[in-house]
Each structure stands twice: as C-alpha cells, then as structure tokens.
Amino acid sequence: MRENGSSGPHFSAPSSRRRSTSGRPVAFLAAVCAVIAALVLAACSSSTTTSAPGSSSSGKLSGTVTVFAATSLTDAFNQIGAAFEKANPGVTVKFNYQGSSSLATSINQGAPADVFASAAPTNMKTVTDAGNAVGTPKIFASNTGEILVESGNPKKITSVKDLANPAIKVVVCAPEVPCGAVAQEIFKNAGVTVKPVSEETNVGGVVTKVTLGEADAGIVYVTDAKENASKATGVPIPASQNATTEYPIVQVKDAPNAKAADAFISYVLGPDGQKVLASFGFMPPGS
C-alpha cells in the first residue's frame, strides 16, 4: 500500500548503505579524471623534452659542429673550440680553415657547414647574397696589417716603401683573398708599387714562404706576426698607411647542427671568446 494512497513512484528514505552505493559513480569519475590529467601532463612533459637536432634528451648540446673559418683565425679558434667543447661535453668542434673566398665558394656549392667565420665582409656577402646564411652576420673581431720578415730582419726592412725595391722578394695573398685586399690597400695608402714574387690563396701561405726563407717579406695580419714571433719578425705599419678588415660570423643555412652552431656563435661573441681573440692580437668589433 502506497503512503497517502498515492499511485506515483515510491521514494523511501535513503539508508547509509544506499548513500555509499550511489557515491560510487562520483568516485569513479574523479578517478578517471585524475588518470586523464596525469596522461596529459606526461604527454606535455614528453613534448617539452623531445630532443632537437644537436641536443640530448636533457636539452644539452651534442654532436659535431662544423666551422668554416678564415686561416688567420686558426690558433685563436682552436683555443676557442677547445674551451667550447669543455663547456659542452657532448659537442665536438670541427674546423675547416682556408681563405675566406674559397670557403664562401664551398658553402655556396653545398658543402656541409654549420658556421662561417670570414676574414672580410666581402666574402660573407657572397654567402648571404646567395641566401645561404641564417639571419644577419655579426662582426666579432677586426684585424690590421703588418710586414712579416725573416727572423732577425736580415734585409733591414723598416717600411712599406722598402717593399717596392725589386731586390726584395715580397709575397702577398691573392687580391680576392682578404689579406690580399689588405695588402693592396696598404700599398695604395703608402703610394708604392710592389711586384710580389708570389700570390697565395691564404695568409698561411705567406707566413710559410717567409719563415722558410722563400721570400724576404710578406704582408700578413698583426695576429699572424704575433703567432709566429718565434720564427719570424714583424715590422709595424703606420696607421696612416695601414688597412683594417672586419670578421663577420653567421650560421649557415640548413646547418646540420643548428642548435650547436648558434651556441658556438654566441660563445665567440661573448666575453670568453672575446678574451681569447684579444690574447691573439685581434681587436674588438668596430676598432
């Protein structure tokens, strides 16, 4: 018999057992939501730690970064490379040192490189104009010319004017190479005509010819004269006759290890890299 004679549905007062049973769906739903939330968090965490090329699962740099650099940077960049590797244990820095014009040509022909450091903006422009650079190149150092002669200066060369003497065997870089362009500007500033016995593809060739006694003198950079002080002698050039070149650096398009390339460039531009460059006689940007 229904209460109050009602023919409608009968609702009895809920017991404590009935309350716990009716609460199960709520508890189950809460548990499901917790599981879903955990899965979402795990997925997000996984996506943020996915390794990019050149990085490990922990976000550290890894792999090899290939740097195409002007010959005049050899000793300074070797030291910078060693310091960069020490700061980033998962990275190996591989250098290709040549004349900047040759390096620019290689890059434009598709040679695999991560970073290009040129001894002159002109050769860097060759790469940027071809669309093979990422972003705008940054100047990281500058350099100036010096006369390099045999150790002890047996020919008693004291000025750029002395290099015009036909009896003096002079060697320079080819005009399209940055050190060659610097030499030509120095000769122009000094108002002399010099007929070199050899034109080299990079400044290293000039140093070799002089230190081996195959030439009496050559135009190199101040940094080259400093690096080779134990086997050759440097003769300073007055500022009024000298010429300066700037060194730009950039990440190469489609760099195989873009992340490490960017980090290396930052290191060169940073205080540690600049300290090393200064120790080798390079001047800061804008000097």
In this prediction, residues 101-119 reach a mean pLDDT of 97
**Which residues are CB-contacts of 45 (< 8 A; sequence separation ≥ 6)?**
none
- Segment among 12-16, 173-177, 201-205, 229-233 with least mean pLDDT: 12-16
Please, what is the angle between helix 74-87 and helix 271-279, to 10°? 150
Which CATH code for domain 63-142+246-279? Answer: 3.40.190.10
Percentage of residues in the chain having pLDDT higher than 90: 78
C-alpha angle 254-257-263 in degrees, rounded to nearest 5: 115
Helix, strand counts (H, E) of the chain:
10, 9
**Whether the predicted pLDDT of 146 surpasses 70:** yes
Evaluate if residue 37 carries a pLDDT over 70: no
Tally of CB atoms within 10 A around 233: 18
- pLDDT value of position 286: 77
CB-count burial class (<10 Å; 0-12, 13-18, 19+) for 71: buried
b/e burial code for range 122-157 (CB count within 10 A of at least 16 → b): bbbebbbeeebbbeebeebbbbbbbbbbbeebeeeb
Give me the half-sphere count of Cα atoms (radius 13 Å) on the Cβ side of residue 253. Answer: 15
Q: What is the mean pLDDT of residues 121-131?
A: 97
The CATH number of domain 143-244 is 3.40.190.10: yes
Identify which of 78, 46, 51 has the alpha carbon closest to the alpha carbon of residue 62: 51
Q: How confident is the model at residue 49 (pLDDT cuts 50, 70, 90)?
A: very low
Task: Give the DSSP per-residue string, 129-186.
Answer: HTT-EEEEEEEEEEEEEEEEEETT-TT---SGGGGG-TTS-EEEE-TTSHHHHHHHHH
Give the pLDDT of residue 59. Answer: 64
Place of tokens 């290293």: 204
Residue 46: the pLDDT is: 39
**What digits encode the pLDDT tens for the residues 152-207?**
999 999 999 999 999 999 999 999 999 999 999 999 999 999 999 999 999 999 99
CA distance 145 to 237: 7
If one counts every other C-beta atom within 10 angstroms of the C-beta of residue 114, the result is: 26
Q: What is the pLDDT of residue 287?
A: 72
**Minimum mean pLDDT among 24-28, 155-159, 259-263: which range?**
24-28
Q: Output the furthest CA–CA distance in the chain (Å, rounded).
A: 135
Q: Residue range 81-99: average pLDDT?
A: 97
Listed in order, the ranges of the chain carrying CATH 3.40.190.10 are: 63-142+246-279, 143-244
Averaged pLDDT, 117-139 = 97
Give DSSP secondary structure letters for 44-70. Answer: HHHHHTPPPTTB-TTS-B-EEEEEEEE
Question: Does the pLDDT value for residue 231 go beyond 80?
Answer: yes
Q: Which of 15-19, 153-157, 162-166, 235-239 has the lowest mean pLDDT?
A: 15-19
Determine the average pLDDT of the residues in 7-14.
Answer: 37
pLDDT of residue 119: 95
C-alpha–C-alpha distance, residues 96 and 105, integer Å: 13
211 pLDDT more than 70: yes
* CA 24 – CA 94 distance, rounded (Å): 64
Which positions ≥6 away from 156 have C-beta within 8 Å?
none
